[in-house]
Amino acid sequence: MIAQLDASYIKIRPWKLWNRMISYALFEGRPVTTRGRWINPLVFAHFAVGKRLPIQKRIEKPVFILGTGRSGTTILGVVLSMHRDVGFLNEPKALWHAIHPGEDLVGSYNRNHAQYRLNASDASDSVIQNAHRIYGMYLSVSFSGRIVDKYPELIFRVPFVKAIFPDAKFIFLARNGWDTCQSIADWSKHKGKDTGKETHDWWGVNQRKWRLLTNEIVKEHSDLSPYVSEMATWAHQVNMAAVEWIVTMREGLSLLQRFPDDTHLVRYETLCSEPRKTMTQILEFLELDQNDKQFFQYVNTTLHPAAAKDTYTLNQVIRKPFHETMCALGYV
């Protein structure tokens, strides 16, 4: 579906079509694993103009959806985008690349060195100004009051984001590890491709994201770091996904401790089984109007429980960390 639009979305709130198409065409960019990459030069030319313009609209309490990909982050973002005050950006990695050129983990826009972690010290004055200019431009042209930005890997860059937007709000979305990791493996199987010169899949161009993850993030974990060299040889998608899930979920749990007033934990399973209750809690946390009948109509239409996937055998070096992380999140 283009811009994550479906018939129910358009029927319930048709004017939101403009918002989503503007986001998709001018701000999100097209990563290396997708079609339509011809539009990227136009997107970056658009950003170059935006950086030269004065700030068009003040950014207040932007919302960032964090976690591991394939854990329901997209559907949560799409549902929130139905709210009358919200403009939704679905993994606007082109936008973030225009703000900070060292952030491209996948290799969609830059094959130079990238950083998994970005800290407050990486938010220079020019980075801050460019972010406010581009996001302000987005709010202006999309006729939105609040930004919801779904970019799961920003979970490793929260201090950087807070240096840019001090009043930012973060939704940490967790999903059962068995389901998440199998979904990641399926994604690579169906959407990955070999161009003859390069492999493009979940792990970016020639496993660029995997190398950055193991060299930067995995080394921070004492129970995983002894196996970094071994992991460099891994090719089994589920095991690789399990490593990403473990370190990402641990990062999210840490954020709940470090920034308790600005971070809200949502479990995907609860979101789908108790959609109205969970979305009401999310709106309360985000300080968004809860009296939006069309929004809740879409919530009830869209969110439904998904069947759990079977368990499987993981590499022995990650079985215990995986199980401990599942327990820490409340999964048996």
pLDDT score recorded for residue 140: 96
The per-residue pLDDT for range 84-93, each reduced to its tens digit, is: 999 999 999 9
* Count of Cβ atoms closer than 10 Å to residue 122 Cβ: 17
The angle at the Cα of 42, spanning 36 to 46, to the nearest 5 degrees, equals 135
Q: What is the pLDDT along the chain (332 residues), one digit of tens a residue?
A: 677 888 999 999 999 999 999 999 999 999 999 989 999 999 999 999 999 999 999 999 999 999 999 999 999 999 999 999 999 999 999 999 999 999 999 999 998 999 999 999 999 999 999 999 999 999 999 999 999 999 999 999 999 999 999 999 999 999 999 999 999 999 998 888 888 889 999 999 999 999 999 999 999 999 999 999 999 999 999 999 999 999 999 999 999 999 999 999 999 999 999 999 999 999 999 999 999 999 999 999 999 998 888 899 999 999 999 999 999 999 97
Q: At 198, which amino acid appears?
A: E
pLDDT, tens digit, for every residue of 221-238?
Answer: 999 999 999 999 999 999
The confidence score (pLDDT) of residue 214 equals 98
Chain-wide mean pLDDT for the chain? 96
- pLDDT at 92 (0 to 100): 98
C-alpha 139: how far from chain center: 19
Give me the pLDDT at residue 42, please.
96
Pick the CATH number of 7-329 from 1.25.40, 3.90.1690, 3.40.50, 1.10.10: 3.40.50
pLDDT of residue 1: 63
Q: How far is it, in rounded angstroms, from Cα 132 to Cα 225?
A: 37
Reading the block at residue 225, the tokens are 């770091």
Task: Provide the token pair at 152.
Answer: 């799961």
Q: CA dist 284 to 9, 212, 253, 298, Å?
A: 23, 36, 21, 18
pLDDT value at residue 195? 86
